[in-house]
A = this chain, B = another copy of it.
């Protein structure tokens, strides 16, 4: 089992856990736990494989990933109530998953296209997709819309990995450093509320409050 497998299984397991925690917050039954664990965990990688044309997708080729999700979901069904704050756990596990997936996504993108630009985009999309899907499905406030930086961490991790590979660093070292960068940034954002300052910010009005849209 190489470093890529370790990242893959870590990403799967922690994203599955965030899906299960989200199911727990919505008081779903055990099948809801399984469903959300699977969808959140394999969502990013499925999307990545579709875009790159690696079909059938990874978990159809190797169903052990599904078993890992199922195991995590069952475990959390019986233990989630023991956690003091499931949402805080969800955010931190999501940060680990983000770190693992931005590197894997970038690596597969680079492999398929040879383009660093594509690598960064597939890295970000792979990392963000599972969490966005989970939040859409359960009606949680989307991680994407939370004030602290989220996509930025994925972008930095995917960018660091891609740059290091271009500098001929070994795959494992580039991947480890890329994941570390992403986790440090997302973790700092969670712990200290880091955010990028906007340029000139003002909130959008609701369409009904825009005079020229009334008739």
Of A3-11, A96-104, A117-125, A169-177, the one touching chain B? A117-125
User: For the complex, what is the distance from the CA of A81 to the CA of B132, rounded to whole Å?
Assistant: 27
List residues of A (12-60) whose CB comes within 8 Å of B's CBs: 22, 24-32, 34-35, 38-39, 46, 50-53, 55-57, 59-60
User: For the complex, what is the distance from the CA of A124 to the CA of B37, rounded to whole Å?
Assistant: 13
Count identical subunits in the complex.
Answer: 3
Q: A residues engaging B (CB < 8 A)?
A: 22, 24-32, 34-35, 38-39, 46, 50-53, 55-57, 59-61, 63, 66-67, 77-78, 81, 85-88, 109, 112-113, 115, 117-118, 121-122, 124-125, 128, 132, 136-139, 141-142, 144-146, 149, 151-152, 155, 193, 195-207, 210, 212-213, 215
Give the residue among A88, A121, A151, A212 with the most B Cβ atoms within 10 A: A121
